Amino acid sequence: MRLKKIIFLLIILSCCNDKNESLCLINCGENESSNITISLDIYKKIYGTSSEIYIENGYVYINTTGVPDHKSPYFENTIWENEKYEEYDNSNPYVENFRLNPNRISELDIRFKIPNSPSKSNINQPTSMGPIGVSLNGVPFYNQYAGGGSPLTNEINSFDQYNGHPAPIGPGQENGSNGRYHYHMEPFWLSTNYGSDALMGFLLDGYPVYGPKENGKDLRSSDLDEYHGHIHETKDFPNGIYHYHITNDDPYINGSGYYGIPGTVTN
């Protein structure tokens, strides 16, 4: 028994290094339980839903309208203008020269079907354009690319003070009346109200997304694996789970595809 403990400690020590101790669990193999199941209580932290969240046949079903619960300049000329319109206030640190894009926030019917017992995929799938996950307020997460798969460099200048903007519902629909609001980066409304280390939502593969801070440290992409996450315990998962982190550097939310096997989204 003593020999086994020594061998285990040697394996752990061989994986950790001064440069990045947070990657220890990743580099040492898959220490996450392969049969983890996420409770309904945790999913109910997603408050921006259009119907009751429920679990059935291994999937959690989360339906949202995609309308943010915070103000935005993109509520201009919408039915929510009097209540939620707020002009851009120059507070977004990523925006150099704000430009309001022609789309406006619309009420949609976005239906997420996400694995309730997420597991690592043997063949990791790339994320697609459009929703790749859901945040706590029901706004979709998008990947690190602008339309056409180009970098976000120019598109960032259309992000509002809460770091989101609407995309056209479909090709040729850039008509100023329809748009799917979403986040490519840190959702400032959530991180400000719940903390930069808090649960921000889930990606389609079922794994949770956390904010940019962990144990008092602002994380960078170099602190994470190729999928933009790592494995260890969190406040919501004390026994450990693979989870993504949002960072302020590219790729922001997700890296080279999903860590797990993705579910589906219709909208």
Residue 27 banded pLDDT, cuts 50, 70, 90: very low
Residue 14 has pLDDT above 70, yes or no: no
Instruction: Please check whether residue 84 is in contact with residue 73, taking contact to mean a CB–CB distance below 8 angstroms.
Output: no
- Identify the pLDDT of residue 218: 97
Q: How many CB atoms lie within 10 A of CB 263?
A: 23
Instruction: Enter the tokens of residue 267.
Output: 């909208």
User: What pLDDT shows up at residue 147?
Assistant: 85
As beta bridge partners, residue 110 has 64
Per-residue model confidence (pLDDT) at position 170: 60
User: Three-class SS of residue 107?
Assistant: coil
* Averaged pLDDT, 103-107: 95
Contact 207, 229 (CB under 8 A): yes
DSSP letters along 121-139, please? -SSPPPP-SS--EEETTSP
Query: What span, in angstroms and rounded, lies between the C-alpha atoms of 108 and 130?
Result: 13
C-alpha–C-alpha distance, residues 102 and 172, integer Å: 12
Q: Residue 86 — pLDDT band, cuts 50, 70, 90?
A: very high
Domain ranges of the chain: 2-13+21-266
Position 105 scores a pLDDT of 96
d(CA 240, CA 62): 23
pLDDT of residue 177: 59
- The answer on pLDDT for 123 being more than 50 is yes
Quick: pLDDT tens for 62-80: 999 999 999 999 999 999 9
Which segment of 151-165, 170-184, 216-230 scores lowest on mean pLDDT?
170-184
Q: Identify which has the larger pLDDT, 174 or 36.
A: 36
Task: Report the relative pairing of strands 241-245 and 208-210 from DSSP bridges.
Answer: parallel
Closest CA to 265 of 74, 157, 125, 110: 110
The structure tokens listed for 73 are 């300049």
Q: Each residue of 175-220: pLDDT tens digit?
A: 455 799 999 999 999 999 999 999 999 999 999 999 999 999 999 9
Radius of gyration of the chain (CA): 19
- 35 pLDDT band, cuts 50/70/90, is confident
* Residue 34: pLDDT band with limits 50, 70, 90: low
Predicted confidence at residue 18, as pLDDT, reads 39
What pLDDT score was predicted for residue 83? 97
Model-wide pTM > 0.85 = yes
Quote the pLDDT of residue 135.
98
Query: Percentage of the chain with pLDDT > 70?
Result: 84
E strand spans, the chain: 54-56, 59-64, 110-115, 133-135, 140-141, 164-167, 180-183, 199-203, 208-210, 213-214, 217-218, 229-232, 241-245, 264-266
Residue 110, token pair as written in the block = 């976005």
Q: Are 255 and 124 in contact (CB under 8 A)?
A: no
Whether the CA torsion 113, 178, 188, 157 is positive or negative: it is positive
